[in-house]
Copies of this chain bind each other. A is one copy, B any other.
């Protein structure tokens, strides 16, 4: 760790600070919802975002492949001197988080555990639904984490494969999207769940559609919970940025075309983004 990266606050010698960036990655643009929540919660922090747009989507790909991609990305972030890594992609969190934690000695967190904590907080009847990509659902990652909290939770899972292309084609309030939401969520309506985890970064964009289909069901968008978790880890480990007169920056890296990313990113992020292409 370099001297300029970690220091002591001038006025309070007891607290450490660390102005290195937080690394956030996703298969594409979707993880910007997490980056946005982190910026809102802890605006002093710099963020390095990586969107693997040359290989997006991850949702149908295998565990081995996702673990390989995730390592390549985290190696890149380590070279950029990040102080922690947030796996902002549900699929990558489900399939690669354990492998990443074993490999790196900086904190690495995913979106599954924060999402589960949030769901447990809001559910009253202990009947929780989870929707995600094919790979997330078949990994059983959410079920495993929920069962760790209590074996008394009843958990219902399903994947919604068309939601990602529908969002990326900006068909947010389209009758086709309503039709697909109706089909995908039908079984959940019959199961009397009171909480539904939106287990894919794209799904919060469809919150109003999903909310209309799943009336009176609490929808869990884990991005806020992730931001709180990031803040809490940074504080615990004395890794928070020194905030006086400081405003964090976000820098994006993508593995494919910059302009295509900028175009879809506008669905998720209103800031004008600094984006560079890198080949891993």
Contacts and interface: CB of A to CB of B under 8 A. Distances in A.
Contact of A176 (B55, B62, B179): B179
Nearest to A161: B169
Interface of A: 53-55, 60-62, 64-65, 68-69, 161-162, 165-166, 168-169, 175-176, 179-180, 255-257, 260, 279
Given A55-B55, A169-B161, A260 B62 contact: yes
Contacts of A65: 54, 255-257
Contacts of A180: 176
Nearest to A169: B161
A68 B278 CA distance: 13
Given A55-B54, A279-B68, A169 B162 contact: yes
A60 B51 CA distance: 14
B257 A62 contact: yes
Contacts of A175: 179
A62 B261 CA distance: 11
Q: List the 4 shortest-distance A-B pairs measured between CB atoms, nearest first.
A: A62-B257, A165-B165, A55-B55, A65-B256
A62 B176 CA distance: 28
A274 to B, nearest CB: 19
A174 to B, nearest CB: 10
Nearest to A177: B176
Nearest to A255: B65
A132 to B, nearest CB: 15
A180 B177 CA distance: 11
A161 B167 CA distance: 12
B61 A256 contact: yes
Nearest to A61: B256
